[in-house]
Structure 1
């Protein structure tokens, strides 16, 4: 099994030859787990444990091979080497020996090590291999979860990514200590949530999140919608589902408190606002101005907006959205401000902006089909009574 794992890892592709790593280096964590599951990405993150002097070893390797040395935790002697698309983390062994180090980790499936020797061996002191075979996530022990409460949330993220179940005793531990999660830096919680909503089995994990009330301080109180993504292409699903799940999961206050990016916050708030408007008044019944604003605000995220709709209505809107020439679903002004100033002698100011909005609306609903149409429409609008 160790030799098969080494073959899958393809160390000959790594940016650093094995013989340049410190003596006694072992590979741990996600690369070992994902390699055993045969789900390695092209450039897996390589987490390694070294006997001593991890930071100094990373500095030495960065000088020899180029790249950047990033200090992750000076006190615990952890550093990262970034070489192009590769990241290699080195950490000093935590404890008297490697077994002690592995037994301080979060979940058994993450507590497996691979020696990087000509005759590689797997070290599995907690039973991670059995858990991988059973597709189960089990805590190494309860205290390890308390040492870093983010690990409570990580179990659900791993379950979503790996399509695994969480051991019942571990679930009890998570429920028992859920009050500790708000003590974790919000940026770290945000990173786990983002990974969770992007995962294939995210919906089951989100249901479990609600059952455990694990992120209750940040959750939305809106009714849960059932999403149907069958009408979307795979690429559209990758765009729409994470945003829809995030918007349904977290409140506006929650996305702010967890310090999501400004763009993520804006997208989530817009989607939530239009969802609520759609519940009050169906999108097909909006007047022209309201429809235009909807498509201006949700042009990028329209598939997410339609996820809870009946299939027939969803297909109709998606068909139009996929047509980049559809002027309602991809609204734009037929003439820019500079052209209008040149041809019509208009000064810059609010009235020019109002005219551009008017032309955009007329084009969106098919009443402008050419630049000549746009000029005539603009002249008519300018000369209409105020």
Structure 2
């Protein structure tokens, strides 16, 4: 099994030859787990344990191979080497030996190590390989979860990514200590949630999140919509589904508290606002100005907006959205500000902006079809009394 895992890992592709790594280095964590599951990405993150001086070793390797050294935790002697699309994390062994280090980790499936020798060996002191076979996530010790409460949330993220079941005893531990999660840095919680909503099995994990009340401090209290992504292409799903899930999962204040980016917050705010409006009034009953505003605000994220709709209605909107020449679903003004200033002698200011928006509306609904139409429409608008 160890030799098969080494073959899957393809160390000959790694940016650093094995013989340049410190003596006694072992590979641990996600790369070992994903390799055993045969689901390795093209550039897996490589987490390694070294006997001593991890930070010094990373600095030395960065200098030798032209990479970047990032200090992750100076006190615990953890650092990251970034080489192109590869990241290699080195950490000093925690405990008297490797077994002690592995038994201080979160879940059994993450506590398997591979020695990087000509004859590799797997070390599995907690039974992680058996859990992989049973598709089960089990905590090693309850205290390990308390040592870093983010691990409570990580179980659900792993469940979503790996389509595994969380052991009942572990679920009880998570429920028992859920009050500790708000003590974790918000940026770390945000990172776990972003990974969770992108996972294939995210919907089931989100249901469990609500059942456990694990993120109650940041959750949205609005009804959960059933999201149907069957009409989306494989390229569209990763863009639409995570946004829709995140919008349903977190409240506006929750997103602020968890330090999401301004762009992420704005996208969720807009989507939530239009979802709420669609519940109160069908988009088919919107005025022209309202309909144009919908497409201006949600142009990029329109597939996410349609996920809760009946399938035929969803397909029709997606068909039009995929057509980049659809002037309503991809609105833009037929003339820019410079042209209008030159043609009509307008000066920059609010009135010019109002005219551009008016021309965009007229074009979106098919009343402007050419440059001359746009000029004529602009002159007519200018001649109207204020």
Note the 1:350-361 alignment, pairs <5 A. 350-361=350-361
Match of residue 73 from structure 1? 73
User: Does 2:187 match 1:187?
Assistant: yes
State whether structure 2 residue 99 is matched by structure 1 residue 110.
no
Deviates more, 1:123-132 or 1:229-238: 229-238
Structure 2 partner of 1:178: 178
Question: 1:348 offset after TM fit, Å?
Answer: 1.4
Cα distance in 1 for partners of 2:280, 2:145 equals 44
Q: Which runs of 5+ in 1 are unaligned?
A: none
Q: How does 1:353-372 map to 2 (within 5 A)?
A: 353-372=353-372
* Per-residue CA distance 1:346-375 (angstroms, 9 max, x = gap): 111111111000000000000001111000
Query: CA offsets, 1:186-241, max 9 Å, x none?
Result: 00000000000000000000000000000000000000100111111111111100
**Displacement, 1:385?**
2.4
Matching residue of 2:230: 230
Listed as ranges, the matches of 1:122-271 within 5 Å are 122-271=122-271
Q: Secondary structure at the match of 2:334?
A: coil
How far, CA to CA, are the matches of 2:148 and 2:350 in structure 1? 54
In structure 2, the gaps of 5 or more residues are none
Ranges of 4+ aligned residues in structure 1 off by more than 2 Å: none
For the residue of structure 2 that corresponds to 1:101, the secondary structure is helix
Q: CA deviation at 1:331?
A: 0.5
C-alpha displacement of 1:64:
1.1
Q: CA RMSD in A?
A: 0.5
User: What is the rounded CA distance, in whole Å, between the counterparts of 2:236 and 2:89 in structure 1?
Assistant: 34
* Counterpart Cα distance in 2 of 1:182 and 1:348: 49
Write the mapping of 1:302-381 to structure 2, written as runs, cut at 5 A: 302-381=302-381
Q: Structure 2: how far apart are the matches of 1:372 and 1:385?
A: 22
Distance (Å, rounded) in 1 between the aligned partners of 2:7 and 2:313: 49
* Partner of residue 300, structure 1: 300
Q: For 1:267-278, list aligned pairs within 5 A.
A: 267-278=267-278
Counterpart of 1:61 in structure 2 is 61
Rounded to whole Å, the distance in 1 between the matches of 2:378 and 2:385 is 13
Distance 1:245 1:82 in 2: 31
How far apart are 1:308 and its partner, in Å?
A: 0.3
3-state SS of the aligned residue for 2:157? Answer: helix
Q: How far off its partner does 1:176 sit?
A: 0.1
* TM-score (norm: length of structure 1): 1.00
Partner SS state of residue 217, structure 2: helix
Distance 1:234 1:256 in 2: 30
- How far off is 1:112 after superposition? 0.1
TM-superposed deviation, 1:305: 0.3
CA offset digits 1:37-74 (Å, max 9, x no partner) = 00000110000000011111111111111111111111
- How many Å separate the matches in 1 of 2:57 and 2:19? 13
Q: Secondary structure at the match of 1:91?
A: strand
Name the CA distance, whole Å, in 2 between partners of 1:241 and 1:381: 42
Give, in whole Å, the separation in 2 of the partners of 1:13 and 1:231. Answer: 38
Write out per-residue CA displacement over residues 108-141 of structure 1, whole angstroms, 9 at most, x where no aligned residue: 0000000000000000000000000000000001
Deviation at 1:338, TM superposition (A): 0.6
In structure 2, C-alpha distance between the alignment counterparts of 1:289 and 1:242, rounded to whole Å: 29
SS in 1 for 2:91: strand
The whole-number CA distance in structure 2 between the counterparts of 1:47 and 1:27 is 6
Q: Secondary structure at the match of 2:15?
A: coil
- What SS does the corresponding residue of 1:235 show, helix, strand or coil? coil
User: Normalization by structure 2: what TM-score?
Assistant: 1.00
